[in-house]
Structure 1
Amino acid sequence: MTQIKYVAALLSLTVLFRSSVQLICKIQETFQLNGLYKKGDIMLGGIFIHTSKLTEIVLPYSFEISIFHWAQTMVFAIEEINRNPNLLPNITLGYRLYDNCNNLLIGLRATTSLISGDDEIVTDLRRQPNAVYLSNICHFAFLFQVSYYASCSCLSNRKEYPSFFRTIPSDNFQVKAMIEIIKHYRWTWIGSIATDDDYGQYAIKTFNEEVKKFGCISFSETIPKVNEKVKVLQIVNIIKQSTAKVIVVFSSEAVLLSLIKEIVNQNVTGRQWIASESWSTSAVFAVKENFHSFGGTIGIAIRSGEIPGLKPFLLQVHPNSDPNNSLLNLFWEKMFGCKLQENTNQNNETSARYIKQCTGQENLKDTQTAYSEISNLRAGYNIYKAVYAIAHSLHDLISCKSGQGPFENNSCADIKNVQPWQLLHYLKRVNFTNHLGEKVSFDENGEPPALYDIVNWQPTDDGSVKVKTIGIFDESAGPGKELKSECSKSCQPGTRKATRKGQPMCCFDCIPCAEGEISNQTDAIECIRCLTEFWSNRDRSQCVLKEIEFLSYDDAMGITLTATACFGACLSLGVLSVFLHYRNTPVVKANNSELSFLLLVSLTLCFLCALCFIGEPTYVTCMLRHVVFGVSFALCISCILVKTIVVIIAFKATLPGNNLMKWFGIAQQRGTVFILAFIQALICLMWLTTAPPFPTKNTKYQNSKVIFECDLGSVTGFSCLLGYIGLLAAICFMIAFLARNLPDNFNEAKFITFSMLIFCAVWLTFIPAYISSPGKHTVAVEIFAILASSFGVLIAIFAPKCYIILIKPELNTKKALMNRGEEFENSPQIEASSTNTTSLKISNFKECNQHKEINLSITTFV
C-alpha cells in the first residue's frame, strides 16, 4: 500500500500528509538521530525532547524520563489501534519518533527528515515552544498538524494556520478560567508574570486586557528565556515591593526554575500564586521546601484521564539492538544508571559517568519513577486523544461508500493515494466519545472543548505536598457556570457522599450504593432502598424489576426434564401395549395381568405428573401438581402392594388344604387398590380444602431475583401426602422382603423388593435435597425424585418380563413353566425346607395352574 507522510511538531503531535506537489529541496546529508521506529502501512512520526532543562548545566543526553513516557504513550495508542479490528481494518499504523536533543536546529532537521524520508506518512511529537515555526513549515509543505501540547492562542488564527488542530485547549480558555477564579474571590489588584516566548506573551496580553475590565494590573513582568540573574532579582524585588497579593504566572517549568528558587531563598511569603497549566502540577516545584512561599497555589491544569492497559505496556520495554530504536537503550541506561555493552565505545566521556555495566535483565517493575506513574495523566492523555483523532478520521475516510463521497462527483478518497486536503476534510468533522465518556472533537478553529482541572497545592500528613484537584472549568457549561469549585468531585448517581473524619463537610468520599439500593441524583446524601419486587441496576442509579425465575420449558433444565418425563410415559405405554398384545401368553397371565395393566397406567400418570411442576406457577397448576402426584404414586404403590400380597397367597394356595385365594380374589384385589388410593385422595381433598398450595413470589433466597414458586399452603398436608406414600412403600418393602426366598418361578417378590428399595432410597435423599435447594432447583429436585423412582419401579418389575416375552419367547410357554415346576420339585433345597410340612408336589402345581383364579395370581420370573 502506498503510504502517506505527516509530521508532529513542538509540544504537539502533528500529522502531515505530503501532497502531490513535489518539493524541490532535499536532504544533502544523513543525520544521526536517536529515535523509535516500527514499520506500518501508514506511518506516524514524532519529535521528542529527552534532555532536562531543570538543571543549572544542561548536559548532552541528560535523559528526561517523563518525556520518554509520552513517546511510549503514543506508541501504546498506535499498538492499541492496530489491535482493534473495527477501527482501521486491514491497515497497520507504524511510527518513526525522533529525539531533538532540546535543540531547535536538530528538531528542524528531524522534522525535515520526517517530511522527506522514505516512509510516506510521518508524525512528529515534541515538547519545545517552537510550534509556530513548525506550523509554518507544515503549512508551506501542504501538511497539517494535530498538537497535544501547543496551547498558544496565536495558533487559533485560521488564516495563518488553516491546517492546525490540537487536543489541548487554547490559552484563551486558560486565561478565561483564571479570570473566573479571580472574579470568584473578588480580587482586583493583580500582578502578572510571563516568559519571553509566544506562549507567555500571548497569554499575558489577553490576561491583562481581561483584568482591566474589572480591576487593575499592579505589575506585568517578563522572565527571560536565558537565565539572567539580574533580571530575576529585579522581578523578585518588584514582587516584594508591590502591594498586590495575587500573582498570575504563565511559564514553563524550565524557565521558571530560577525565579522560584530566588523567591524561596528570599523568603517571599503571603502571596497567592495562580499557576498556568505548564507548571501547576510540577512535581519539581510542589515540594516541601517550596511550600512556605508557594503553599496554597491555585493552578489551571490540563484535564487528566486514565488509559487502561498503559502501565503493563510501559513496564515491558527492553533494550533493542536495532539502531532505529536507540532511544530504548538511552532510556534503559538512564533508568538503571548503567551502560549497555554496545554503547560502551560510542561515547567515552558519557560512559565514564556510569559506574556499572547493564546486563539487560534489570526489571522495570522494581523502579519507582515518573515513567511508570499513570494515575494522573495529563499530557499523555492528550497524546492518546490526538492519535485516536487521527485514527478516527482515517476510519471515516475508508468508510466512505462509492458514489456517496464528499468530494467532486461524490467521489471518495483512495486510501492508497490519500491527499492531505482529503483527510483534512474528515479531521474537521471528527466526533467520538472515548472510554472515559469524554467527547473528542474540533471547532471551526481546530480547538477541542475547553475543559480544565482547578488544582491546589496542599500539605499532607507526612509533610509532603499534594497537588489536589479542587474544581473544574468547563467552557461548554454556559455563561456563569464554567467554574466549579470543590474539595471533592461530585458524587455521581449510584454513589452517596460520606464525610471524611476530621475534615469539613465539603470534603467527602463517594461510596457506591449497596446492592438493592440506588441514588438517582448527583451528590446524594444517602441511598434509597428499592421496593421488594425491584433491584438496583449495575450502575446503582435506577431500580429495575427483579428477574423472575421459575422452572420453565425454555431453559435447558426444563427441556431435559420434560423430555425425560415424556420418554418415561412413552416407555410405560410401550410396555402396556406389549402386555396387551401378549395378554394370552403364560407369562402375562401368570403375573396377574389386570394388576399389571393398572400398574402401568399409574406409572404413566407418575411420569406425566412431573410436567405439572414445569412452567409458570398458577393457582390451578399449584393444586393440580400435588394432587396428581399424590394419587398417582398412591395408586402405583397400592398395585405393587396388592401384587406382593397375591404372590404370597398364590404360593400358599399351592399347598394342600390351603384355601386363602377364595378370600382374596379379583374383587378383593380391586377393592384393596381402590381403598388405598382413595385414602390418599381424601388426604389431598382435606389439604386443598383447609390450606391449598398457591403461587407466590419468594425473595428470601436471592435478593436480585424473584423466585416464582408454589407455596405448600400447609406443610402438614404435604407431609401427610408424602408420609402416606412412604407408609405404603415401607409395608410393600417389608412384605416383599419376607417373601423374597420363595421359589423363583413363582416369586415376583425379589424384584418388588428391589424396586421398593430404589423407591425408598430416592425419596429419603429427596427430603434434605428439597430443603437445601433454592429457587427453581427445588422443583427440579422434586421432579428428579418422581422420575427416578418411576423408572426404578418400571425397570425392576417389567424389564425381566419383557425380556422373556420379546427376546426369549421359547420360555413364554406352558410347557416351559411346567418343566421349571418339575425342576423346582426335584430341588434339594425345597425338599429340605419341607421336612416339617406337607411336600409340594408338581401335581399340585398343575392342579393349581388349572384353576382360573390361581392362574391370575401366580408370578413367574427367570
Structure 2
Amino acid sequence: MSCFSWLYTLWPSSCLSLLLIELVGRQLGLRVGLQVVQTVTCSQWGTTSNQGLFQDGDVVIGGLFNLHYHPPAIDHSFTQLPHYKPCIGSLTDISHVSFLLWSQFRTLEEINNSTMLLPGVKLGYHIFDSCGRPPWALQAALSLVGGDSTSCDHPVHLIIGGASSITSQILSKILGPLSVPLISYLSSCPCLSDRHQFPNFFRTIPSDIYQARAIARLAIRFKWTWIGAVVANNDYGHMAVKEETQGKGVCLAFVETLQRENIVRDARRAALRIQASNARVILVFSWYTDVRELFLQLAKINVTNRQFLASEAWSTSGNLLQNLATFKVASGVLGVAIRSSPIPGFSNYLRSLHPIHRPDDEFLKEFWENEFGCTPRRSLWKASLPACSGTKSLDGVQHSFTDTSQLRVTYNVYLAVYAAAHALHSLLSCPNRDSTPGNNSSTCSSRKHIKPRELLQHLNKVNFTTPQGETFYFQGADIPAKYDLVNWQNTPEGSLKLVLIGRVDGFDLHLNESAIQWSTGSNQVPVSVCSESCPPGTRKANRKGEPLCCFDCVSCPEGEISNTTGSLHCERCPFEFWSNAEKTACVPRQLDFLSFNETLGITLTAAAVSGAAVTTVVFVVFICYRQSPMVRANNSELSFLLLVSLKLCFLCSLVFIGRPSLWSCCFQQAAFGISFVLCVSCLKVKTIVVLAAFCSARPGAAALIKWFGKGQQRGSVCILTCIQVTICAIWLSLSPPEPRRDLGFQGSKVTLECAMASVVGFSLVLGYIGLLACTCLLLAFLARKLPDNFNEAKLITFSMLIFCAVWVAFVPAYISSPGKYVVAVEIFAILASSYGLLICIFAPKCFIILLRPEKNTKKGLMAR
C-alpha cells in the first residue's frame, strides 16, 4: 500500500489532483504511514526556503501568504516529472503584502513580550510564499509540517494561511488526517463551514453568506426591490444571487455572469444589459479585476447613473478607486468590506522598520528598493541600483505602506495569530507544573512535544478578549459576522475616497444614512423598483408570469381598507365602521333613516299631505251637500267616519318618517293598525247595510233592517276597532318595537330602524286588518249586482280589490327591502291603499255632486 493511499480517499478524483499528489509524493520521498510525515529526515524541498522568512522559537507558527503574482510556467507534457520552481516576479501589492507579513511579526513580538500570554515561551515563525496557486501552497504547507532543510528540528503544528477558498479546501483536506490546524484570514466560502469535511479549518473572516445577507438587508432598508446582478460564474457569485432572492422581498431584473477567461466579452454583454434595464441598483459580486473591466465597458457607453452594491472582494480596491477612466461610473458605490480595526503600535512599528535591523528580510529589501530606488546591499538581480546611504527612513514618508487607518485583512492576520497563541497558552498551561513528572496528573503538553490533535482541540475552545477589548471565539470554523459598510465619495481633487458609513454586527445593521453620497450626487436615495409602491387605500395584485416585485395597484373594495404603503391585502372594517372615500381608514358608519330632508322623504311626505288634503276637500264637499240625495243615500254618517279614518291613514304615514325613537316606533304601528281597521270597519258596515236594505225588501224580511240601525252601525264599527286597539295595547305593552341599528346591510351607513321585538304582535295587527278586508271584499262581491243605478257595493268591491292587492304585494317587498327602504315600502303601501279607497269610493260621488248635479236626485239614483 502506498504511503499516500490516505490522500486518494480525501482528494477529488481528477487527473490534475492525482498528478499533484504524485508530484508531492515523489518530492517528499515518503514511505508508509502517517507518522512518516512527522518523522522524516531533512529533505531538500526545491528552493522554497529562499522565498521564506524564518525566526526560531520555542514553538513555531507557520504562515502562507501570496507574496508574488507571476508563477512560473509548468510544462505538463507528462514526459518527465514536473518541477515546481520558486514563484518569482513582483510583489502583488507592496503595502498589502507588507501589512500581512509585518502584522504577524508585530503580533508575535507583542505576544513574546507579554507576561500574561505564554509567559516564558517564545513564538517563532516560518513563512512561505504560496504564490496565489494551490500547488505552491500545498508544497509550502507540507514543507512546514514535515520540516524544511533549514528547520529540520522545528516542524510547525499550526498554519496561518490559505488566501483563497480553493487553496484552503485543498490544504485542509491534506492536513486533516494529520490534525494540523489551518487558520485562514481570507477564505470566505460557505462550504468551509462544514466541520465534517474540514474539521481542522478555522478562519478569521466571516463566511460569504453573511455579506450577501448584509447586502440584502441594505436593499430592503432602502426599498430597492428591483435590482440587477453581475456575479462571478462560480459558487461565490451564485451564492450571492441565492441569498439576495431567498425570501427577502428582492427581485432580480437580470443576472449576468463574468467568466475570467472571457472577461472582455462578458463585461461588454453585462454593460449593455445594465444600460437596457430599468433597474437603477446593480449588485456586483465578483473580483476587482472583473469589476474594472465592467466599469471600463460602462464608461465607453456612458452609463453613469447606476448605484452599485459592492462585495468585499472589490469594495476597498485601491486599484479601482484610483482609476480615472472609471471615475464617473464608480462614484457613489455602496459596499460591504472586511471590518477594520486599529492595531496598537503597528504604525510606529512600520515606520521603524529598516533593512539594517532585518538583514535577512528579503521582502523589506525589495520594498526598500522599489520605494527609494537604491539597494540596502548589493543584489545580483538589481545590480544596477546604487547602494543606499543608510540615511533613508520610513519615518515621515507618505505612502500607502505607512497608512494604517484601515487595517482589514491585516487585522484578520492579527486575530489569527492571537487565536493560535491563546490555544497554545491553554495547551501549555500546567496547574501542577512544579510537581514531578510521575505525580503530574494534568493533561498539558510540553512545548517540545506538542501534538497537533491536542492543539486542534484547544483551538476549538478559544475564547479571549483582544487588546482592543473585542471578545473573540470560534463558532465551529467561523467567527461572528462583522463587516464595515463603505461608500465611494468624490473629493475636491476629482478622485474617489473610501468613507466608512456604518457597520454590520451579526444581524444588526448600523448605518449613518446622512453620510452617504449616492451615485446621483445628491442626498436623495435612488429608487429602483419594478412597480411603484401601492399607496394606502390600494393593494398589490401580482402580474401573471412576472416576478413578485412587478404588480398593479388595485383599489380596496367598499368596507375594506389598507392604511400602509405596499399592502398585500385589504382589511375589512368592523361592523359598526366603514371605509372612508380614500379606503385608508375605518370611520363610524353614519346613521341612516328615512328623513324629511331627503328626496324620498319629501316625496312621501308630499303624497301623504296631498292625500290628507284631498280627503279634507271631499269631506267639505260632503258637508256642503249633506242634504243631497247622493250623500244621504250612501249612509252619510259612515261616509263621514270613513273620510276621517282615511285622513288618519294618510297622516299616520308621516309618523314613519324621521329619526326613530321609542315613542315613534310604538305610535306609528298603533296608528297604522287602528286607522286602517277603522277604515275597513266602516266599509264593512256600509256593505252590510246595503245588503240588509235590499234583503229587507223581500217578503217576510222587513224586520231585518231594524238590526242595522244607526246605533248598531256605530256599535259595530266601535267593536271592530276596539279589537284592534286591544291587540295593539297588548303587543306594545309586552314587547314593543324599539329603535335599533341594522348592521346587516353592508354600506357606509348603518340603518336606524324600528325593530320588531315581537313578530307575532305585528302579524296579528296585519292579520286582523287582512281578515276584515277579505270579509268586506266578499260581502261587497255578493252585493255587486243589486238593482241600483248607483250601486255603492261595486265601488267598495273595486276599492277592496286594490286594497288587498297592495297589501299582498307589501309582504315580500317589505321582507326583501334593505335599510330605510323597509319603512318606505310600508309608507307606500299605506298611501297606495288609502288613495285606492279614496278614489274608488268617493271620486264617482264627487263627480256626480259637482259635475253632474242633474243626476244627484232621488229619481236619478233609483232609476234602473
TM-score (norm 1): 0.49
TM-score (norm 2): 0.49
User: Which one has the largest radius of gyration?
Assistant: 2
